[in-house]
Structure 1
Amino acid sequence: MTKILIVADNRKRCAATTRGLELARRLGCKVEVVAFVWTSLKALELSAAERAECKQRLLNEREREMEERLAKLRSDGIKVSLKIIWEKDLVSWVKRRVAGGKYRMVVKSGRRTESLTHTPSDWQLLRECPAPVLIVAEEKWGQTEPVLAAIDLGTRSKDKLRLNRQVIEQASAVAGALDAGLKLICAVEVPRLLAELDMLEPATYAKELKQSMAPEINSLAAEFGLSRSDFVIKRGPVAKVITSEAARVRAQLVVMGTVGRRGVKARLLGNTAESVLELLRTDVLAIKP
């Protein structure tokens, strides 16, 4: 039995905890809830013993709050453990915790803002966490329905082809556990510069690329027991295609692969998963190769 690591919300809302416990119950996973507490105590004119006492009081208060929350949300049959951690760097702690491969996913509520000088923990986890990361949306469409898997059918990269299968495998398992349908979306992105220079005709390019995807669609359909009608191919920028299709089918979850960029390149360009996360009003499960 694998585990799901839930990063508890610090606000009164508890979207991550609620969604994480629901998935754990349906997937048959154990749950570890971790709540982070940290504040600088240097400004207080206290002795070392007094600082330690103050720190312990904050930890105890957070533990009491979390125990009350879990008592309302916990379902029968789910094994739930709770950790209260004094830690400023949430991302580094989570990365260390899941590094051994025993966790099926990390679940965290979304904080969807970013600037060049500040990288929220959502983005850092998407780029660096070794386990799949589920970013839970606090505000969603009403009456959400299928699970939507975003894949790259035009790739010839072995790593990306393998990532396609990881995405479909995860999406299929979650869809089955949630009694939801499964749909797959692939974007055909026409190179804008070549189109602007009249070096290719966009409609013809897209049509030929779609035709070249047929063998891979047939292979994936046979491997995962899917119908060709489950695959949707649309022309346009990847992030916009995924978000528009998710909105059209009112997806309750989008599962996609992400290859994390780092440093200035990541901050200036962003990843597709991050662009999707900024636009989407539903949960996003990001999987690294």
Structure 2
Amino acid sequence: MSKLLIVAGLEDQCAATSRGMQLAELMDLQVEVVAFAYANLKRLKLDRKGIADVKQRLLDQRRADVVSQLNRVAGVGHGVKVSVIWSEDIHPWIIKRAAGDYAAVIKTRHRSESLGYTSTDWHLLRECVAPVLLVSRQKWKKGSAIMATVDLESTARAKQALNVDVITSARHYAEMLQVDLSVLCVIDVPTLLVDLDLIDAKAYAKERIKELQPALTALAKKTGLPLSKFQLKRGPVAKTIVSEAAELKAQLVVMGTVGRRGVRAQVLGNTAEEALQLLKTDTLTLKP
């Protein structure tokens, strides 16, 4: 993986552009910046040539805006490849492009979803094979920690391998940025059973922590991290991730996502998506 794909936003100060260029320098990676432009030109009373001219003007203006962003971030003469694509739906192009040799797709986060509409962010989380770094508008603060989240409950080999990938990636970012790393494992206590007084939440969590200790020890050994870097907390998974990230003042949360699709994903979502609704920090998601 030798490149970063930065999706330039429409805003004048694009968080993804500045964060991506910062990471590219630290990781010694090439950068490709892609921007999109689109307008419905069918209602214009112009012939084909006139419509083509308008389209080209819009593409040229979008390119000029992106180059201006890059010049402010990286200086004139940065040599970054810029692609401007004419498309209303941008996620298919990004997903197809990211199937190549890309270390990550970097995009400013935009939260917008309803039962009949799925945002670009959600499409990327569910379908993009490359890691997806969704950037908040908050600047990274020196010394802020990085937090990884793993699922110790799963016995599926793919998810266990994903746990290792998540920690490995989080450790790489932590070492690169010279900040502390914390790994969070959440014990999800079944709320319905607690509400029906069928289990005691504290006793259940204590027993699960004991049962999961061998898996935790094995994961620490595989990743080379000391057990002191791992935290086991009980609570609703997404809300616990968000509260622990806030407690740590984490600048980046790294997690795995299974990327459900269809109606089930629209209604239920998954842990990464639920957490993303609430997180105020950058989020790096990886798939199995």
TM-score (norm 2): 0.94
In 2, Cα distance between equivalents of 1:213 and 1:54? 62
Letter in 2 for 1:39: A
Who is 1:21 aligned against? 21
How far apart in 2 are the matches of 1:76 and 1:223?
Answer: 44
Q: CA deviation at 1:140?
A: 6.2
1:227 alignment partner in structure 2: 226
Going from structure 1 to structure 2, the CA distance change for 1:79 and 1:130 (only over 3 Å counts) comes to: farther
Aligned length: 288
Label 1:80 to 1:259 Cα distance change in 2 as closer, same or farther (>3 A). same
The question of whether the paired residues in 2 share the 8 Å contact of 1:255 and 1:286 is answered with yes
Whether 1:74 and 2:89 are equivalent positions in the alignment is no
Q: CA deviation at 1:79?
A: 6.1
CA distance 1:180–1:32, change in 2 (3 Å): same
- Match of 2:263? 264
Partner of 1:177: 176
Matched position secondary structure for 1:265: helix
1:105 is aligned with what amino acid?
Answer: A
Do the aligned partners of 1:31 and 1:79 also contact (CA within 8 Å) in 2?
A: no
The structure-2 alpha-carbon separation of the partners of 1:144 and 1:238, relative to structure 1 and needing over 3 Å to count, comes to: farther
Compute the displacement of 1:121 (Å): 0.8
Pairwise CA distance, 1:119: 1.4
Q: Distance in 2 between matches of 1:235 and 1:26?
A: 36
- 1:117 deviation in Å? 2.1
CA deviations on 1:95-139 (whole Å, 9 max, x unpaired) are 111123x11110000111322222111111111111111110114
Deviates more, 1:139-148 or 1:67-76: 139-148
| Deviations, residues 223-251 of structure 1 (Å, cap 9, x unaligned) | 32312111011100100110000000000
Q: Offset at 1:218?
A: 2.0
Structure 1: distance between partners of 2:11 and 2:78: 24
Does structure 1 retain, via aligned residues, the 8 Å contact 2:143–2:179?
Answer: no
3-state SS of paired residue (1:6): strand
1:203 aligns with 2:197: no
How many Å separate the matches in 1 of 2:242 and 2:161?
23
Between stretches 69-78 and 89-98, larger displacement belongs to 69-78
C-alpha distance in 2 between matches for 1:7 and 1:165: 27
Q: Could you say which residue in structure 2 is the equivalent of 1:8?
A: 8
Classify 1:48/1:144 alpha carbon distance in 2 versus 1 (closer, same or farther; 3 Å): farther
Which aligned pairs between 1:16-55 and structure 2 lie closer than 5 A?
A: 16-55=16-55
| SS of equivalent to 1:234 | strand
Between the aligned partners of 1:259 and 1:77, the Cα distance in structure 2 is 40
